[in-house]
Structure formats: C-alpha cells, structure tokens
Amino acid sequence: MRDFRSERVCKIPPSGIRKFFDIAQEMEDVISLGVGEPDYDTPWNVREAAIRSIEQGQTAYTSNSGLIELRQEIKKYLSDSYGISYDPKKEIVVTTGASEALDISIRAVVDSGDEVLVADPSYIAYTSNVMLAGGVPVLVPCLEKDEFKLTPDSLMEKITKKSKILLCNFPNNPTGGVMTKEDYKGIADIVTDHDLLLISDEIYSELTYEGEKASAASVDDLWERTITINGFSKAYSMTGWRVGYICAPETICSAVLKIHQYVMLSAPTTAQYAAVEALRNGADACREMVSEYKIRRNLFVNGLNRAGLKTHMPNGAFYAFPNIIEYGISDEEFAERLLKEHHVAVVPGSVFGPAGVGHLRCSYAVSREDLMTAVGRIEQFVSDL
Ligand code: PMP
C-alpha cells in the first residue's frame, strides 16, 4: 500500500512542546510553567451570558462572518482601544479561535513558493501553517539585545524578490517582547516599499504592562496592507471557548471568508454570545487579571535574575524567556534535567525557532506561591550545575 500522507504534512515537524508535557504528566509534584494559557476561570458574567443563550435556544449556526452584534462590539473595541476602524459588515470575520484565524488568513494569501517572513522566535503553529499553505517560511531574528523586537535592519536582511507576507506576533509568545506604535512605524516603510502584506497576531495585546498597547494597523500606511488577528482566549481567560477574529480590508476579508465558510461555516454560537458579554462587560475582569500577571511577572523575573538566570523584563504576554547560554548545556538538556531532577516544567526556547536557542520559555500564568517554589528549585538546579 502507498503512503497516503501528503508531502506537505510529512514535511512539518511534530510539536516540540508535547514531549515535555508527556514526561511531566507521568511525574508527581511537578510545577508546570510550560502551558500557554491563563490559570483563571472565565469571568462569571461571561459564562452566564453563554448559559442564557442556550436557555433561549440560540443553538443554530450564526451568519458565516459571526453574530453582527459581536462584530459591532469588536469594531467598537478596536476603535476605542487602538483608533483603528473596520466595517463590521465587510471587514470582520469571527473565527474558531485565533488559531483558525491564522490558518485561513495564511491560506487566503499564500501561493506555492511565496516567501513568508516570520518573526523568530515564534508561536509554534506559524511555520507549519505557512508550509501547509505551500509557502516558504523565512525567519527574521528578534534578538534579546533588541528587547526581542522586530527591527528594520533584521527585516531588511531577509527580504527577497519572493517575499510576500510578514507574519508577526506582539506581545510575543514566547519572549514577552512588545512593539510600540513607534516600533511599528519603524518597519512600516519597509513593508510598504516592498509591497508586503502584514499579518499581525495581537492575541496578547491586552496583556501589555507598561506604556500604551499598540496595534500595527493603527500606523496609517499599514492599515490597508494588514490583517489584524485577535481573540478572547488570553484577555478574558477563554481558551476553551474557541473564539477569535480577523479584521482586514474588504478584498482580503472576503477571500478569508470564502475559506471560513467552507471549513467552519461559523464559529461556535454559544461562544460568540459569551464573547459579546466579554467585550461589553469584561473590561474590569480583564484589568484585574492583567494587574495580577504584572505582579507575578515582577516577582518571577526578579526571582529568576537573583537565582542566576539572566532574564529580560518582558513587557507583555505572560512569558519570561531567560537566557541560559552561560551554563554550557543546550536549552533542551536544561529543560529535561530541570524537569526530571527538580520537577519544574519549562519549554526549551529552540522549539520556537533558531532565535530561541539558549533560552527557556516559562509561563507565569500560575499562582505566586508556585512561581516562588519554582524559582527556589531553579536556583538549586543552577547552583548544582
Ligand atoms: N497566537 C498565539 C501567539 C498564541 O500564543 C496562541 C495560543 N497559545 C494562539 C494564537 C491561539 O489562540 P486561540 O486560543 O485563540 O486559538
């Protein structure tokens, strides 16, 4: 019998994070800093809105683009928070998480052989999404010395005649790096001069700790060539609800919608009602969670630095990205030994791309108590090295 698997699927690597979860699950007394999701329950008013929608029998498909009241709330949120304007009827599509938003955006714009510039290190799905669409990922390093931002120089170095798209995510998973509006302005001319499309995954935008939160499309020349992706998983602790969205100029948005209507029909209806409530009445809960993440960030990052792990103070998301190069072992080995010998699970930075080599991704979306215990164990481990 022949191998029925497609060449594209055979080429994509398995997720490097899985291996560590599998080991951690077999062990007792493990503190996991490995998972990329909030540790809060979804705010109660949001859950109630979902229950109410079920009680009222709102159980059918919604319009392909999503509930119009949700798209109107998304429009209002983006306009109030970032000063960007999208037409809810033509320029917004509600998706099954930012995950679907990323996949269908990429498939709507990538042709075989197109080069997609990907800010490196990156969320693990990006290079696979690009390859499954037939594109070629070209990694653009975002280095610690630049506060893990995307700089004009590193971008310029990777642009070729085949470059078509720039895919980036700030605040960033895994580094916690953030781009300000000024930073986006710094790359806007390059994007425009080289006629690129920007796909900007802003799923962590609410989790910005100092200074103003920024959206790439708020830089004037970028709006018409940007797909803005966002969602509810991180800001409102709604990972299991599976709801996100895409905003883009009409031509691009209608191309994305074509794929969405064939693969998904519509995002989950109950989750869309919950999302409406999150945007209407969820700001306080979001603010409370963000202020707690900030306290944890300060505790944890200062703790890591005291323990001997050089760690840049991240300005967004809920990840710290300590540098372990001075210890002379690979990030893989460091993470594996830390887990097996001291029962702390973190993710090796190399899983997220070559620019992540020599780092660890540690999520601080866990209790303060667990964070401090983890710091103690890490300190013990590095003092033994
Ligand atoms: N983008 C980034 C950068 C992420 O970290 C994640 C989730 N870890 C996603 C997208 C997917 O989010 P969602 O739950 O909305 O699919």
The residue nearest atom 7 of ligand 1, judged by CA position, is 36
The residue nearest atom 2 of ligand 1, judged by CA position, is 123
Mean pLDDT of the chain: 96
Residues linked to residue 137 through DSSP beta bridges, in sequence order:
116
For residue 125, how far is its CA from the centre of ligand 1 (angstroms)? 9
227-278 tens-digit pLDDT: 999 999 999 999 999 999 999 999 999 999 999 999 999 999 999 999 999 9
84-126 tens-digit pLDDT: 999 999 999 999 999 999 999 999 999 999 999 999 999 999 9
Query: Hunting for tokens 């971008």 — which residue is that?
Result: 155
pTM for the model stands at: 0.97
174 lines ligand 1 (CB under 6 A): no
pLDDT at 208: 97
- Residue to mutate, 106, 203, 238, 242, ligand 1, most ligand atoms under 8 Å from C-beta: 203
173 lines ligand 1 (CB under 6 A): yes
Q: Which atom of ligand 1 is nearest to the CA of 102?
A: 10
What span, in angstroms and rounded, lies between the C-alpha atoms of 163 and 161? 6
CA 314 to chain centre: 14
pLDDT at 16: 72
Task: Tell me what the mean pLDDT of segment 9-25 comes to.
Answer: 80
What span, in angstroms and rounded, lies between the C-alpha atoms of 78 and 286? 16
Residue 5, classed as helix, strand or coil, is coil
CA angle 31, 36, 41 (to 5 degrees): 85
pLDDT at 77 over 90: yes
For residue 279, how far is its CA from the centre of ligand 1 (angstroms)? 18
123 lines ligand 1 (CB under 6 A): yes
99 lines ligand 1 (CB under 6 A): yes
With pLDDT > 90 as the criterion, what percentage of the chain qualifies?
Answer: 94
244 lines ligand 1 (CB under 6 A): yes
CATH superfamily of 7-42+284-384: Aspartate Aminotransferase, domain 1 (3.90.1150.10)
For residue 237, how far is its CA from the centre of ligand 1 (angstroms)? 12
On the CB side of 146, CA atoms within 13 Å amount to: 18
230 lines ligand 1 (CB under 6 A): no
137-185 tens-digit pLDDT: 999 999 999 999 999 999 999 999 999 999 999 999 999 999 999 999 9
pLDDT at 127: 96
Domain layout of the chain by residue ranges:
7-42+284-384, 44-281
pLDDT at 82 over 80: yes
Residue 245, classed as helix, strand or coil, is strand
pLDDT at 19 over 80: no
Task: Tell me what the mean pLDDT of segment 194-214 comes to.
Answer: 97
pLDDT at 94: 98
Class of domain 44-281: alpha beta
176 lines ligand 1 (CB under 6 A): no
